[in-house]
Structure 1
C-alpha cells in the first residue's frame, strides 16, 4: 500500500509542477516588474502616476475577479473597478461571499485569486493576434523530470527566456514605424500588462483553493493507481493543453518587460540629469 501512496505523491508533485510551476515563475516575474514600474512612476510623478495605466489595467484586473466569482457562484457583495487609495495602496477591489461547505466554491477561491493573470493575458493575446496577426505568439511546451530537477528547472527557465526573446523580436517588428492606432493599442496592452499580476492578497485568498486542488489530484492519482489506470496520459494532456496557456502568459511577461524598459530608460536618464541620482526601481 505504501508504494501506491508514494507513486500517487510523485505523480501529484509532477502534475502540480506542470500546472503551477511555470505559471508561478511567470507570476513572480510579472509581480516584480509590475512593482518596479509602479516604483519608477511613483518616484517621478507621485501617487497620481497610478492613473497613467490604472484607469485601464485595474478595471480589467477587478472584472477578472468578478467574472470568476460568477463562474464559481460566489456572491459579489461590493465591487470597485478603480478607486485608488494613497493610504492603503488599494486601487480597486471585489468583495465576495461563498459557501464554506461547497467544495466547488472553495476551489473557486484559487481561480478567483489568479483570475487577472489568465484573463488579462488572454485579453492581451486576443488583441495582439487580432491586430498583429502576422506576429503570432508560439506555444511553450514544458516538461519536468523529477529524477533530474535541477536540469528540468534550468531547461524551463531557458525555454521561457528564449520565448521572451522571440516575443520581443515580434513586438519590435510589429511596432516598427507605428501609426496612431498602433500607439493606442500599445498603450492599452501596456496598461493591461502592468496590472495582470495577482496581488499578495489575491494569492493569500487563493491558498485554500490551491490546497484542495492538490488534495483532489492526490486522491485521483491514488485511485487510478489502485485500479491500474495509466496516469502518464494525464501528464501528456497537461503538457499539451498548458503549452498554449504558457505561451500566452509568456507573451504577457514579454509585454510587461517591454513596458518596463520603455518607462524606465527615459526616466532613469531624466533622474541622472535632473537630480544626479540613480533611479532605483526596487525601492
Structure 2
C-alpha cells in the first residue's frame, strides 16, 4: 500500500537522522575526551574554538526562530573559566510549554549544532575546495540518474597553484576546528530533544496520512527522496571528517605514549 510506503520512507529518514546525530555526538565526544586526557582541558578549546562558537550560535539562532525567550548567551568561555565550571559556552532560554511550535522547537534547538556545523563545513568546501564540492554535487546527480560510474570520478587534486594549496590547507584546518569543537551535543541537548522528537513523529504521521487522502502523496514522496539524498550526502561529510579526526587523534595519542 502506497500510504505504508510513504510512512516508512518518512520514518526511515527520521531515524537515520537520529542515528547519524547520535553517532556524531559519540565520535566527537570521544575525540574531545582523548584531547583532554592527553593535552589537558584547555586543548579542546584551543583546537575547537571555532566549532564551539558555531555550536552555541546554532542553538541561539534556532531558539530565536522558534520564539524562545533568550535569558543569557555566551558563545565561548575562555579556558580558565571553562575549566572551573566545565562549560565551553551556553544559551540559556525559556519557552511556553503550551505552545506546540515552541515545544517542537526543542528538538531543532537541541540538535542545532549538528545542522549548523554541517552547513558551515559545506560552505567551507563550496568556497574553499570547489573541486570537492563539484564532486559531491555530481554524486547527487549520479544517484538520481542512476549513473553509478560517475561516483568514482573523484577529483585528482584540490589545487594547482600555490594559492589554491594554501587555501586548501586553511580549509582543512577550519574543518578540523569545527569538527572537534562543534558536533558534541551535551546530555542536556539530547534530553530536551527527546520529547520533541516523539511529538515530531506524531506530526509527521498525521502529514503522511493527510497527504495520502488529499492526493499529494506522490509529491511528498518526491520531496522526501530529494531531502534524503541531500541529507545523506551532506551529513556523510560531517561523519567522514569526524571519523578521520578521531582516528588521527587516536594515532597521535598512541605515538606519544610510545615516546614516553
Q: Same fold (TM over 0.5)?
A: yes
The unaligned stretches of length 5 or more in structure 1 are: 1-5, 144-162, 275-283
Per the normalisation by structure 1, the TM-score is 0.75
More helix by share: 2
| Cross-structure match for 1:205 | 192
Relative contact order, higher structure (CA 8 A, sep 6+): 1
2:96 touches 2:102 (CA, 8 Å); kept in 1? Answer: yes
Give the SS at the match of 2:171.
helix
In structure 1, the residue corresponding to 2:215 is in which secondary structure? Answer: coil
Q: Alpha carbons of 1:10 and 1:248: their partners in 2 closer, same or farther (altered >3 Å)?
A: closer
Matches within 5 A, 1:105-144: 105-136=102-133, 137-138=136-137
1:65 aligns with 2:59: yes
* Partners of 2:67 and 2:102 within 8 A in 1: yes
2:22 corresponds to: 28
Query: Contact 1:100/1:106 (CA < 8 Å) preserved in 2?
Result: yes
Structure 2 CA distance for partners of 1:10 and 1:179, relative to 1, 3 Å: closer
Which of 11, 15, 19 in structure 2 is aligned with 1:16? 11
- Over the aligned positions, Cα root-mean-square deviation in angstroms equals 3.1
The CA distance in 2 between the partners of 1:110 and 1:129, in whole Å, is 28
1:262 maps to 248
8 A Cα contact 1:27 1:197, kept in partner: no
Q: Whole-Å Cα distance in 2 between the matches of residues 63 and 271 of structure 1? A: 36
On the 8 A contact 1:113/1:203 being kept in 2, the answer is yes
Gaps of 5+ in 2: 144-150
Q: Cα gap change, 1:7/1:182 in structure 2, threshold over 3 Å: closer, same or farther? A: closer
- Comparing 122-131 and 204-213, the one that deviates more: 204-213
Task: Please tell me whether the aligned partners of residues 120 and 193 of structure 1 are also in contact (alpha carbons under 8 angstroms).
Answer: yes
Normalised by the length of structure 2, the TM-score is: 0.80
1:220 is displaced (CA, Å) by 2.5
Distance 1:32 1:255 in 2: 14
CA contact (8 A) 1:54 1:82 kept: no
Question: What's the counterpart of residue 174 of structure 1?
Answer: 158
Q: Distance in 1 between matches of 2:241 and 2:26?
A: 14
**How far has the Cα of 1:73 moved from its partner?**
1.2
> Kindly tell me: are residues 222 and 135 of structure 1, through their superposed partners in 2, closer, same or farther at Cα, counting changes over 3 Å?
closer
SS at match of 1:124: helix
* Secondary structure at the counterpart of residue 91 of structure 1: coil
Structure 1 residue aligned with 2:238: 252
- For the 8 Å contact 2:63–2:93, the answer to whether it is kept is yes
Please tell me whether the aligned partners of residues 74 and 98 of structure 1 are also in contact (alpha carbons under 8 angstroms): yes
CA distance in 1, matches of 2:132, 2:73: 36
Residue 102 of structure 1 pairs with residue 99 of structure 2: yes
- 3-state SS of the aligned residue for 1:99? coil
Which residue of structure 1 lines up, in the alignment, with residue 48 of structure 2? 54
CA–CA separation in structure 2 for the residues paired with 1:52 and 1:173: 30
Report how far residue 87 of structure 1 moved.
5.7
Counterparts in 2 of 1:175 and 1:206: CA distance versus 1, 3 Å: farther
